[in-house]
Amino acid sequence: MKPSRFDYSAPTTVDEAVALISEKGPDAKILAGGQSLVPLLNFRLARPESLIDINGVDELDYVSANGSMVIGGLTRLTTLEESNSTNGLMAKALPHIGHRAIRNRGTIGGSLAHNDPAAELPAVLMVLNAEVTATSSTGERTMTVSELVGERFFETTLDDSEMITEVQVPAAGVGTRYGFAEFSRRHGDFAIAGVAIAITVTGSTVESAAIGAFGGAHAVRLVGAEAALVGCELADAAFAMAGETAAAEFPTTSDIHGDADYRRHLIGVLTQRALRESTDKEVGV
Amino acid sequence: MSTTTWIGKSAARREDAPLIRGKGCYIADIAPPGVVQMAIVRSPFPHARINSIDTSAALALDGVHLVLTAADLEGIGAFPTLWRLPGQKHSDTPALAGDKVRYVGEPVAAVVADTRYIAEDALGLVDVDYDVLDHVVDTEKAIEDGAPVINEVWGDNIVIDYTFPGVNALGEEGDVEGAFAEADHVVSGKFRIGRYSGIPLETRGLVGVWDEIAQRLTLHSESQVAHLLRTELAGALGIPETAIRILTPNIGGAFGNKWDRYPEDILVSLATMRLGRPVKWIEDRREAFQATVHGREQVQEWELAVKSDGTFLGLRGRVLSDQGAHLHSTGIGPAWVTGAVAPNQYRIPNYQCQVLGVGTNKTPNSTFRGFGGPEGIFGIERMVDKAARTLGIDPAALRAHNYIQADEFPYFSPAGGVYDSGNYPEALSKALEAVNYEELRAEQKTLKEQGVHRGIGIASYIHVSGFGPSAILGMLDYYTGGYEGSTVKIDPHGKATVYTGMIPMGQGTETTLAQVAADQLAIDIADVRVVWGDTDQTPYTGFGSAGSRSNVAAAAVMKAIEEIKAKAVRLGAQLLEADAEDVEYVDGRVSVKGAGEMKSLSLGEVAQEAYWGHHIPEGDQPSLEATYVYDPANFTTAFGTHIAVVDVDVETGQIEFVKYVVVDDCGTIINPLLVEGQIHGALGQGLGGALLEEFVYDSETGMLLTTSLMDYLLPTFTDLPEFETHQLVTPSPSSEGGFKGMGEAGCFPAAPAVANAVCDALAEYGVEVDQTPITPNRVWRLIEEAKANT
Amino acid sequence: MSDVISFDLSVNGELRSVSAEPRKTLADVLREDLGLTGTHLGCEQGGCGACTVLLDGEVVRSCLMFGVQAQETEITTIEGIGSTGELHPMQAAFSEYHGLQCGFCTPGMILAAIDFVGRNPDPSADEIREGLNGNICRCTGYQKIVESVAAAATEMSG
């Protein structure tokens, strides 16, 4: 399984990179971590004429947190895993992403740009109301991850000339608690279904809820379940109701690893489990 | 009398030294000067007519040297299928598709170029004009009226319809009708065993080197039966067998899949002969899913006639074996074995089984570890648990009640085979003890109240190993032998070289045979060298490397050494001026009995004399070597019982292991550490097939959907439990050394043990797990259906 | 070939010159251009770990990188572990505890295990299983690999 021919360039600055992207046109692909792209190249499912290797663009490798997190697009997932600045929900999700070797090369920008519907990060970042800066040779713009994803899978709403350069994760509100539950056939596999949750609670009443789901047609916020939870007492009844609502609105899909009904059912189960985790004072931080 | 110093020892593996340093030499590592690379154009359709193939654009690509299509194969033969039961229709393995393609992945053309990269560039330039035909990928649909016929010469999609008549080796016939008429209950079951296979981590590969001057082909091949490959390749290519040499590199796992002869064996050979330079082909992972033989896949229907007290009266069934698009090297063999082992460890005198080989538009189904045994054991062990449930009898007690007892051997199975020895009740009781069965059952009830669904699943098995006496294989219409040969040579320094026809594929054959030789010669294991993997040097292998044949290879070594020791005694007697009856071979020395050091020679001293040749006794020849080709007297019957303890998450269908206990009996053990490793490895594959692994074809399009390791799921570290293994030793009375083969045993009971455990865990729902793999999705559906039906 | 690039790679402490197309994977460059065939290819899609090497001390799948990408990094392959005559404790443990059968997954497994133990010096059996989960073995059923790694960890922590 050998890739088809491509011409290769390796810019070392953002300016160089976006210039090359414009120059090479729509038949070019950006190579970041390569953990998703290179298999496609090896299978010849993708045959770009040009490959723009941005691994040398060191200025995009950074993590900082001052309340909110600011992450360069080329930051490796392992860096995030090992950083003290990393948001709690991201910290729960990161160990589920593939294996160590994959995370050593995979980048946050790459994961978002690839937008695999079974991937953890897009949904997690949607829940965190994260924003993404995309840069091109004509400038830059910022959008929410939800806007980036739209209802797409394996592509985003970015146009061919744009490259993700930064991700901003707003500071969590006081008392925010997190839950994460994923079901996959084997540890490290892509999810058959997964749920990421951020809730704020006053006393034992839900003030706000953000529920992200993955493993279906595309990463999505389950807004109906979120709304239904607001004002509820934290108890099994609320969890069950949220689970049912979440399952009903989940854009389910079917493949050899899980049929549509099963995935929908799992979302219901995982929503309850993630909610339970988020309310567990020890675990839900 | 020799002291056993090496048999039974966990000797360190001599194979390890290069492998842990990355200095092994696998097929992909071989790169003779000037080597060029092959890639194969494969059918993208399950069933299509080939109208034309235009290779001009591919040939025009810079770096491309050759493109072969069927038109270039005039005079080239196909590989035969070796198991040919009476009434079986003709089916063989051609090197390239002829006028049509019959499965996704069937080879259509071969391209040779400077690099694999360029060869793959050229694949897209070979223009094949297909007319797509209707396909069938469902086993049962393939035998319905109106199904597309895949092989016109068969007339339909049934290649063989064979019935086990239920007559044992003594000619005694059962009475199946009577048994079912007499039964208090008839338990029935229908099972679908999923399609999966060995998936060795190293894919297949070949390097062919044609010497134009010597007119000789050297083929570097991972074939598990190198000599058979040589013989069949000579036939297919139409060149003398003396013109072919097969050299075997390190093999990165094989599991039966590398036993067969494949189209690429012919294609690479032809390419190097036509180009006059070395040609290399390394299968990539995507190809491997389409092009390396699949295994298992059966639809079985069984009925078990039982009395209320639990006694089994009769067993009858039908096995549909999904053979894929055509028969491959071992063809219908695994399906036959299924029928042969189904009665398992139980006394069931009345038996009948119909086996149908069914053609479908899928990759051929052939040799894979277990070879039909796991399929047969799945059926019967699930039936036993169904009977237990119907009768309200504990599944362990029901088994114990029906086992063949230790004093009933040799046992003449109604399926025709003869079990040599065994102690089935002991294996079960040892397993029950290991899991603390009584306590487990009590705990199970408590956990149930807490909402934990724990289940216990038992599976007993026989494993017919040491395949097999050649004459019997002939009677079974199997067209090779079952022997193994060994040549042992003692050099003038008294060190031994053992030549074996066996092909090591990771199981430690070199170490094992060195242990046997060192033990029998009573010399240091470091003084034994084992030579394998060169058909110019090694004895012809009858059946080759199957996991369960190290016993046959070991026996050949032992018998050759017996001759050497006898020769050494005769020569030693001459040298010591004694009568041969007064001289013995003990502890690596030839000595006059009771005469001490004065009248004793070392093996080296005797060997040196043998090569000088000055004092050779009348009737003997100079040198000290012997060859023995050992044909087993009987199949050996390894056996055991496994118990799986699992927790089922009823919300997700996920299955977690709590415990997995193995009680295994493979006769006399040569190297305990290696035996344990084989059990674990076979279990890994058995559990893989039970829970995760499956080739999936889309019924609408006929496409193979599992085309990568992300689709076809191999078990990982966290998918397999810790295994608790216990060995019993019941030596085989019919096998030299008492060894039985054992490399496959672990995969026989794995799936039914898990299936039985899941059913037990979900007993309150009345769920029957009758399909593998037992995926969480399927478990969830079974629970939902059961809930809906109440 | 006009698209062949010349570049240098530092592998096992040695600077080596390579000429290859940019599409040639790091695994193929190591195996074919540099003759280091200890790194094996099991799938070419990052699914098995047989091609594992260390890049600047971190485990990576060499089938998912192009050779040209590895310039200005330090690559360690299995051939760079231990030395002639002296095995790394991990290699020794794999042999002693029968953590290999066919040996095909072994180079990648040993490198992954060395990396893992370096970060988890005193791992439980469950942690070893979780930590090495990205490396597939088809022969051993994993149990003896776990024993090998546990033994090596004890040895390595002195």
Which CATH number applies to B31-133+202-252+258-291: 3.90.1150.200, 3.90.1170.50, 1.10.490.10, 3.90.1150.10?
3.90.1170.50
- pLDDT over 80 (residue C2): no
Boundary of a domain, candidates C28, C62, C80: C80
Band of the pLDDT at B2, cuts 50, 70, 90? very low
A169, A203, A224 - which closes a domain: A169
CATH fold group of domain B295-469+633-789 = Aldehyde Oxidoreductase; domain 4 (3.30.365)
The partner residue sitting opposite C61, judged by closest CB among A31, A101, A187, is A101
Give the closest-approach CA distance of C72 to chain A in angstroms: 10
Sequence ranges of the domains in chain B: 16-22+483-630, 31-133+202-252+258-291, 295-469+633-789
- Sign of torsion over alpha carbons B606, B610, B611, B613: positive
Interface test with A, best of B777, B780, B783 (most A CBs within 10 A): B777
> Residues of chain B with pLDDT > 70: what percent?
98
Q: Which of B121, B708, B713 sits opposite A186 (nearest CB)?
A: B713
CA pair distance B419, A165, nearest whole angstrom: 70
CATH number for A240 = 3.30.390.50
- Domain contains A285: no
* Number of domains composing chain C: 2
> Domain end: C40, C57, C80, which one?
C80
Instruction: State whether residue C80 sits within 8 Å of chain B by CB.
Output: no
- Rounded Cα distance between B280 and B39, Å, is 9
| CB within 8 Å of B439: residues ≥ 6 apart | none
pLDDT tens readout for residues B614-647: 999 999 999 999 999 999 887 788 899 999 999 9
List the domain range (segments joined by +) for residue A182.
Answer: 176-278
B400 Cβ partners below 8 Å, 6+ apart?
A: B425, B428, B429
Predicted pLDDT of residue B743:
66
Q: At what angle do helices C89-96 and C143-156 cross, to 10 degrees?
A: 140
CA–CA dist A114, A102 (Å, integer): 14
Mean pLDDT computed over every residue of chain B: 95
pLDDT value for B547: 58
Out of B116, B711, B776, whose CB is closest to A256?
A: B711
- The residue whose two tokens read 């491509």 is A6
Q: Is A154 left (phi over 0), alpha (psi -120 to 50) or beta?
A: left
Interface residue A266 vs chain B (CB under 8 A): yes
Q: How far apart are CA A63 and CA A82, in angstroms?
A: 11
Extract the tokens encoding B669.
Answer: 């053990």
CB contact set of A109 (below 8 Å; sequence gap of 6+): A32, A60, A72, A73, A74, A75, A163, A164, A165, A167
Q: Is residue A81 part of a domain?
A: yes
Sign of CA dihedral B767, B772, B776, B780: negative
C130 and C96 share a domain? yes
Residue of C nearest to A40 (CA): C45
Report H helices in chain C.
26-28, 89-96, 106-119, 125-131, 143-156
pLDDT band at B1 (very low <50, low <70, confident <90, very high): very low
| CB burial of residue B478 (10 Å; 0-12, 13-18, 19+) | buried
pLDDT at C46 over 50: yes
CB-based contact B667:B478 (threshold 8 Å): no
Q: Which residues fall within 8 angstroms of residue C101, CB to CB, at 6 or more apart?
A: B253, B506, B507, B508, B677, B681, C139, C140
Length of chain A: 285
Percent of chain B with pLDDT over 90: 87
**One-letter amino acid of A82:** E
Domain C-terminal end among C56, C80, C104: C80
A140 and A188 part of one domain? no
pLDDT at B229 over 50: yes
CA B262 to centroid of chain Cα atoms = 17
d(CA B571, CA B581) in angstroms, rounded, equals: 12
Per-residue pLDDT tens for B347-370?
A: 999 999 999 999 999 999 999 999
Ordered mean pLDDT values, 10 residues apiece, chain A (285 residues): 97 98 96 98 97 98 93 98 94 97 98 97 98 97 96 94 97 92 96 97 92 97 97 94 98 96 98 94 71
Is any Cβ of chain B less than 8 angstroms from the Cβ of A153? no
Does some domain include residue A100?
A: yes
Is the pLDDT assigned to residue B111 strictly greater than 90? yes
Quick one: three-class SS letters along B589-609? Answer: EEEECCCHHHHEEEHHHHHHH
User: Distance between CA B247 and CA B259 in Å, rounded?
Assistant: 15
Which residues contact residue A84 at a Cβ distance below 8 angstroms, ignoring those fewer than 6 apart?
Answer: none
Q: How far, in Å, CA of A177 to CA of B141, rounded?
A: 54
Q: Tokens representing A13?
A: 């600055």
- pTM of the predicted structure, to 2 decimals: 0.97
**Measured between CB atoms, which of B20, B708, B717 is closest to C91?**
B20
Share of chain A above pLDDT 90, in %: 93
Mean pLDDT of C73-82: 97
- Which residues of chain C does B29 touch, with a Cβ-Cβ cutoff of 8 Å? 31, 37
pLDDT digit string, tens, across residues A272-284: 999 999 988 766 7
Distances B517 to A49, B3, B583, B607 between C-alpha atoms, Å: 61, 13, 21, 16
Task: Give Cα B82 to chain centroid, integer Å.
Answer: 15
Q: Which fold has domain B16-22+483-630?
A: Aldehyde Oxidoreductase; domain 4 (3.30.365)
- Identical topology for domains B31-133+202-252+258-291 and B295-469+633-789: no
Neighbour subunits, B (≥3 Cβ pairs < 8 A): A, C
Considering only CA atoms, which of B591, B561, B586 is closest in space to residue B737?
Answer: B561
Percent of chain C whose pLDDT exceeds 70:
99
Asked if residue B530 has pLDDT above 80, the reply is: yes
Q: Are residues A46 and A91 in the same domain?
A: no
> Cβ of B586: how many Cβ atoms within 10 Å?
14
Which DSSP string corresponds to B137-174?
A: --HHHHTSTTPPPS-GGGSSSEEEEEEE--B-TT--B-
Q: In the prediction, which pLDDT does C1 show?
A: 41
Same domain, C63 and C18: yes
Q: Touching check for A281 and chain B: CB below 8 Å?
A: no
Beta strands in B666-715 (DSSP E): none
Q: Which residue has the tokens 């013989």?
A: B231
Count the domains in chain A: 3
Beta strands in A215-266 (DSSP E): 220-221
Q: Smallest CA–CA separation between B361 and chain A, in Å? A: 19
Q: In C, which residues are within 8 Å of B679 by CB distance?
A: 141
Handedness of CA B761, B767, B771, B773 (dihedral sign): negative
Domain span at residue C99 reads 89-156
Cβ-Cβ contacts under 8 Å for A195 (sequence gap 6 or more):
A179, A180, A181, A182, A211, A212, A213, A246, A267, A270, A271, A273, A274
Q: Are strands B295-306 and B279-282 parallel, antiparallel or unpaired?
A: unpaired
pLDDT at position B780, please?
98
Distances (CA, A) of B106 to B96, B292, B363: 8, 10, 8
B410 upstream amide cis, omega within 30 of 0: yes
Give the end of a domain, one of A169, A195, A213: A169
Question: How many angstroms separate the CA atoms of C88 and B572, rounded?
Answer: 48
Question: Which CATH number goes with the domain that contains A106?
Answer: 3.30.465.10
Residues of chain A neighbouring B718 (CB-CB closer than 8 A)? 186-187
CATH number at residue C57: 3.10.20.30
B59 to chain A, minimum CA–CA distance in Å?
18
**Model confidence at B726: pLDDT above 90:** yes
- Chain B residues with CB under 8 Å of A5 CB are 121
How many C-beta neighbours within 10 Å does residue A128 have? 27
Give the CATH number for residue A45: 3.30.43.10
The confidence score (pLDDT) of residue B466 equals 65
CB neighbours of residue B532 within 10 Å: 21
* Residue B66 vs residues B36, B219, B267: alpha-carbon distances, Å: 10, 19, 11
- Residue among A209, A192, A187, A181 nearest A270 (CA): A181
Q: Which residue in the block uniquely carries the two structure tokens 């949750």?
A: A197
β-bridge partners, B107: B42
Average of pLDDT values for B186-210? 98
- Whether A1 and chain B come into contact, CB under 8 Å, resolves to yes
Q: Where are the beta strands (DSSP E) in chain A?
A: 7-9, 28-31, 50-53, 63-66, 68-72, 131-136, 139-144, 163-169, 176-183, 193-202, 205-214, 220-221
Q: Are B298 and B193 in contact (CB under 8 A)?
A: yes
State the nearest Cα–Cα gap between C156 and chain B, in angstroms: 17
C12 and C75 part of one domain? yes
3-class DSSP assignment, residue C41: coil
B48 vs B638, residue with greater confidence: B48
Say whether both A43 and A64 belong to one domain.
Answer: no
Kindly state whether residues C60 and C96 are assigned to the same domain. no
